[in-house]
Structure 1
C-alpha cells in the first residue's frame, strides 16, 4: 500500500497532493508535462525533500515531516528507472546489473539474478557495454538493475519516452510482467494514454501540481477531467473485453464484452486475451430504433441512465451491461427526446477505434515476451 501526502513550493509552482493506493500492482501518475509528476516520485525516492508531508510503503515510513523521519535514498528500498537508462558506460551489462544487488545486504535480497535475466530476456547481453545496446535493451537493463536491489517499490519516470514506437511496443510487455513476477508494485509516471491503458490498475490524474482525480483506470478515464488533461477531444469509456475470434477476410477482431460483441481493427492478440478498449464519447451515435442499411457494424441495445448538460453538449450515460458514454449536441438531445430509462441503440464505427485505443491487460503468468530478431 502506498500512503503519500506531499507539499513542496518551487518558486511560483506549488505541489500539493495526497493519495493512497491499496493493492494496485501499477499506480500511474498521469498529466501534462510540468504538472509535477517527476517531482512526486523524486520525493518518494528521497532525491528531493518535501516541505511537508508523509511517505509510507506497506506501513514503512520513509518520510514524515512532523515526526522528523527522512530516510536517505539507500535506506528507502526504492528502485528508480529514469527516462533514459543512465547505465554506467564503463561497466558491462552484468556489472550494471550487479551494482545495486551488491549494495543490498544478502539477507534482504528477495529477487534473484537468474530470474531477472530470464524475465527481461537479457541473457545474451551480459558481456556487452551500454554503447552496444539499443534503446530498448538499455531500458531493460536499467529495469533489471533497479529490480536486483530488491526494492519494495519500483519508480518509473516515463521509461518509454525516449524510444520509438517499435521499441516502445517491445518493452511494454516486459514492464507488464514485473509486478506479478517479482511482487513489487510500480509507481509509473506517464503522459501516454496507451501506456496507462496497458499497465495501470490505479490512476492518479495530475494538473498544475494538484491531484485532479483518482481511482480505477476505467473510472478516471471515463470522466471529463481526463479528456481535458490528456488533450483528447471527448470524454471516453473504457470497456474490458476478451478476444473471441479474428476475421482476417474482413480485417477485424471480435471482442466479447458485457454489451455483446464489438468489432475492432484486426489485432494479433490470441483468443482469450483480456483487453481494454477506449471508446471516445463523440464516436458513439444513438438511434431510437435499430438501424438498417448502415455501414456501422457495432450496434448495441442500451438504456439511458444519466444525462449531463455542459457547454452546449450532452453527455449521455448508457447501460448496455457496462457503462458507455455518448456525447451529442443539445439539438440532437431535443430531437431524440431523451430521458432517463429510455431504451435505444448505441452505434460505434469499427474504424473509429484505433489500435492505440486498445491495450492488452494482465498478460498470462506463464507467458514471456519474445525479443525481436534484430535485438538478439
Structure 2
C-alpha cells in the first residue's frame, strides 16, 4: 500500500494531492504543469513540502531524511557515473544484493564492461533502473523515464519495464503524460489536473471512463481490454478471446494461452444498431451502452459494455441523436483489426 498526501504553495501554483494505491505500478498522469514531478520530488524528499504524509507499506517515511527513505529514483536522464563502466555503476548501489537476477531481468549482461558513453539511450536507462533496484528500495520512482527517448528506444525498453512490474516485487510510482505507457504499465491510475487529484482507481476502469477523457485527451482516449491468446493463424492474424467475444489482431508477440492487455482507442470504435453484414472489419462485439458524455464540440464520448469489459467510442452528436443513443441502448461495437497498433498490445 502507498499513501501520499502532499500540500505545497509554489506562489502561483497550489499543489494539493492525496491518494492511496495498492501494490503494483501507480501512474501519475496529467498534462505538463499538472504537478506530477512535484509529487514524486516530495515523496523522494527532494521537495520540502508545506505538508506531507507518505506511507510505504507500513512505514511512514516523510519524517526521514532522503538517504533513509529507501527510495530508488530514476530520472528522465540516466545520470550514470561516466567514469565507471556498467558493472561499476551497478556495484555502487548494490547494497549487498546479488546483481544477477536484476541484470538478467533487464537484459544488460552484455553491457557490463561498457562505459555510459558507449550505451544507447534505452540501454543507459535500463542500467539506471537496475542501479535503483539494486539499492533494495521500498519504492521505485520513475519520473518520465522514456521522455528523452525516440519511439524506437521506447519500444525497446517498455518490455523491460513490464518485467520490472511483474517480477521485481517493488512498488513503482511512475510519472508519464503518455496514455500508451500508462495503458501498458499501470495497475493504478492517478489523474492530476492543476495540482489536484481528479480521479484514482484501477487503470482498466479509469481509462474507459468517459468523464476522465478530457484529462486523458479526447484524441488519446481509449479503453483497456484483457484477453487471452487463442491461436496464431497462417494469414498473420492472432485470435484473441475476451469477455465480450473474439478479437482478431495482426500478429501478437505472445504465446498461445498467454494473457494480454489490448488498448482500443475510442476513435477506432464504430457503433451499429444492427449486426453489420458485408463489412471488412473482423471485430464485431455485442454491447450495451452504460454512459455517455457530451464534449465541448460536436462529439460525444460513449461508454459501452462488452461482456465484462468496457469500451469507449467517439461519435458525433448528430450520430448519437440519429441512433437514439442513451443508457441501456443495445447494439454492436465494430473495430478494424488493423486499427489496433502493435504498441497497444502488451503483457
Q: How high is the TM-score relative to the length of structure 1? A: 0.85
* 1:281–1:138 Cα change, 3 Å: closer
Moved more, 124-133 or 154-163: 124-133
* 1:325–1:26 Cα change, 3 Å: same
Gaps of 5+ in 2: none
Distance 1:179 1:74 in 2: 24
Identify the residue that residue 34 of structure 2 maps to in structure 1: 35
Moved more, 147-156 or 91-100: 91-100
**Do the aligned residues in 2 keep the contact of 1:197 with 1:359 (CA within 8 Å)?**
no
Identify the residue that residue 253 of structure 1 maps to in structure 2: 238
**Post-superposition CA distance 1:231-259 (Å, at most 9, x none):** 3426432211122223452x432221011
**Do the aligned residues in 2 keep the contact of 1:317 with 1:325 (CA within 8 Å)?**
yes
Q: How high is the TM-score relative to the length of structure 2? A: 0.91
Distance 2:61 2:161 in 1: 25
Identify the residue that residue 44 of structure 2 maps to in structure 1: 45
1:141-160 matches, cutoff 5 A: 141-160=127-146
Identify the residue that residue 211 of structure 1 maps to in structure 2: 197
1:1-376 matches, cutoff 5 A: 1-23=1-23, 25-63=24-62, 69=63, 71-101=64-94, 104=95, 111-233=97-219, 235-249=221-235, 251-311=236-296, 312-321=298-307, 322-356=309-343, 358-361=344-347
Instruction: Give the superposed CA RMSD.
Output: 2.2
* 1:329–1:164 Cα change, 3 Å: closer
Moved more, 154-163 or 320-329: 320-329
Distance 1:316 1:131 in 2: 49
Q: What is the deviation of 1:314?
A: 4.2
Q: For 1:228, what is the secondary structure of its paired residue?
A: helix
**Do the aligned residues in 1 keep the contact of 2:208 with 2:310 (CA within 8 Å)?**
no
Distance 2:170 2:220 in 1: 34
Q: What is the deviation of 1:114?
A: 2.1
* 1:235–1:161 Cα change, 3 Å: closer
Q: For 1:50, what is the secondary structure of its paired residue?
A: coil
How many residue pairs match? The answer is 345
* 1:234–1:277 Cα change, 3 Å: same
**Post-superposition CA distance 1:291-321 (Å, at most 9, x none):** 2122222112223344545545444433321
Distance 1:334 1:184 in 2: 49
Gaps of 5+ in 1: 64-68, 362-376
Moved more, 312-321 or 282-291: 312-321
* 1:167–1:316 Cα change, 3 Å: closer
